[in-house]
Amino acid sequence: MDFEKLAEVYEKLEKTSSGNTMREILSEFFRKVPKDDLALVSYLTLGQIASEYESVILGMAEKSVLKAITTAGAIDSSKVKKIMQETGDAGLTAEKVLQKKPRTLVPLSKLTIDELFEKLHKIAKTSGSGSQDLKTNILASLLQKSSSKGAKYITRIALGTLRMGVGDMTVLDALAIAYTEDKSNKKILEKAYNICPDVGVIAETLAKKGLKGIENIDVHIGRPIKMMLGQRVKALEEIGEKIPGEVTVEAKYDGERIQAHKDKKGKINLFSRRLDNITDQFPDLVKYLDEAINEKEFVVEGEVIAVDNDEKPLPFQTLMQRRRKYDIEEYVKKIPIQFKIFDILHLNGKSYLNIPYYKRAETLEKIVKKNKEIKLTERIITDDLGKTNDFFKKMLKSGYEGVIVKSRAEDSFYQAGTRGWNWIKWKKEYVKEMVDTFDLVIVGAFYGKGRRSGTYGALLCAAYNEDKDFFETFCKLGTGLSDEVLAELPKKLEKFKVEKKPARLIIKKEMEADVWFEPKIVVEVFGAEITKSPFHSLGLALRFPRFVRFREDKKAEQATTVKEIEDLQ
């Protein structure tokens, strides 16, 4: 398929500010895409060349991309730099330069989606001496072969700045409409996507095998499963109402949730909550798991925490120092870890997703050889709310966040990617006068005044409406931002800056921001209470919000949901 056709769709998507219109544009286009190209089109529309968990990175800096534009346009580099200064966008720069492409550079054949995909992967795989020049030359050849409009979007894909506002759920909606004529079938696609978070696999399976093929998608070792989430309640007494009878009460830690996969060849991969492959950052955990679980293949989940020499938990920020590309071995020694395992999703060829929780827990007891570094979560089994509260207090004294109460019913299955009532979290914040912390998405910013002049004075934050796949504003965040965070914000957010309100953001005129951002960055926010608000699109607002930290372990769609907030009312 000619890439120019996809570029025309991108142009339409970029101009719309309506999420519904986006779905219509995409579904209409998907119907015309050859089935063999649909997976590639789905990836590219998200600005990717593979699923996120595959960690395929183009690794192109703006300097190299501008050099490719210079080569493709056969123009002096100083002119390219000048256009870049005027537009502030490498994509627009490529479009302007390639509009004046000399006739001698007009390609004999058109750029296909297949060729674009193949060469972008070649760029990603290129490394070593002279790799930057080779990457630049490959990109230049793609730009020369495309139209000026196509060059704009190729450039943005290369830099990871496509920013059209299309999300995973937008693509699933459009696929459901295109191939089943019924948007409600998105629920079937979403359920499969939670087990197989690969939009290319979902798209191709739907196109070639229909909904029957989608329903047969199951766990695959090496491909992460979207993690199950817990609900929250306003009072401890509500737990007994939501999960009657005997429950398991487990410790809740202030660490990083990890899903570990071991395949038949003995290779272990570690995936974060964002589904990023973080195996290289925890070589010690790979070794510990290999020693502690003597099984041919498995998928287990747990929480990794940083500990001191006495095995006492250290803050989350300390653990985050392990998230690095360099000096990994040094930090393995500097910041020791423990992995607290709490679930098993697959074992030796058998999926455990539809096995009751208590049986999954029994399996873990049998296969995990507990040691200093690998442990099962601290837990009790009880039907007594008083004992649950005693255990909760004990966990707080141990330095943990609180507890997770889990159903032991026969239907207590692992609900991938779902926030269900089989798990309920109860944290220390809930017993104070203040409400729980919320994970909110930065969607806009307001310029600072006075001491904050020259940076952002406040951030516009939103919750995620998972039913409708859009974001609704919930608070203006200005408190708790240290001088260091304020100085960091413009650079951190620059990559996600967009010229107009994102299409999947619902706002009221009172919350028109000075600057808009594609919903990507998640922050943890603490507040005094939830109140009704005529100014926020959610209809509710968080009073006295205070910045706690960036949640780089979460994607925007993993933020606190509108339903969660409404349920706390």
Exposure string of 166-178, with b = 16+ CB inside 10 Å and e = fewer, is: bbbbbbbbbbbbb
- Label residue 268 left, alpha or beta by phi (over 0 means left) and psi (-120 to 50 means alpha): beta
Q: Check 252, 340, 406, 425 and give the catalytic one.
A: 252
For residue 231, list its beta bridge partners: 424
DSSP secondary structure letters along 22-47: HHHHHHHHHTTS-GGGHHHHHHHHTT
Q: Can you tell me which residue has the tokens 């395949």?
A: 263
- What is the C-alpha to C-alpha distance for residues 217 and 225, in angstroms, rounded to an integer? 12
Q: Residue 400's CB: how many other CB atoms inside 10 A?
A: 24
SS3 content of the chain, % helix, strand, coil (to 5): 45, 20, 35
Handedness of CA 497, 501, 505, 510 (dihedral sign): positive
- What is the C-alpha to C-alpha distance for residues 301 and 219, in angstroms, rounded to an integer? 14
* Catalytic status, residue 81: no
Element (H, E) at 406: strand 402-407
- What is the C-alpha to C-alpha distance for residues 141 and 159, in angstroms, rounded to an integer? 16
- What is the C-alpha to C-alpha distance for residues 84 and 376, in angstroms, rounded to an integer? 54
Q: Are 518 and 502 in contact (CB under 8 A)?
A: yes
- What angle separates helix 77-87 from helix 62-73, to the nearest 10 degrees? 120
Residue 139 CA to its chain's centroid (Å):
27
Establish how many alpha carbons lie within 13 A of residue 523's alpha carbon, considering only the half-sphere containing its beta carbon.
30
The CA-CA-CA angle for residues 327, 554, 55, to 5°, reads 55
Q: Are 511 and 535 in contact (CB under 8 A)?
A: yes
Residues 6+ apart with CB under 8 A from 410: 356
DSSP secondary structure letters along 139-174: HHHHHHHS-HHHHHHHHHHHHT-------HHHHHHH
What residue spans of 466-529 are helical by DSSP H?
Answer: 483-494
What residue spans of 273-411 are helical by DSSP H?
Answer: 283-292, 316-319, 328-334, 357-367, 385-397
Element (H, E) at 305: strand 298-306
Q: Are 253 and 425 in contact (CB under 8 A)?
A: no
The CA-CA-CA angle for residues 528, 532, 534, to 5°, reads 125
Catalytic site positions: 252
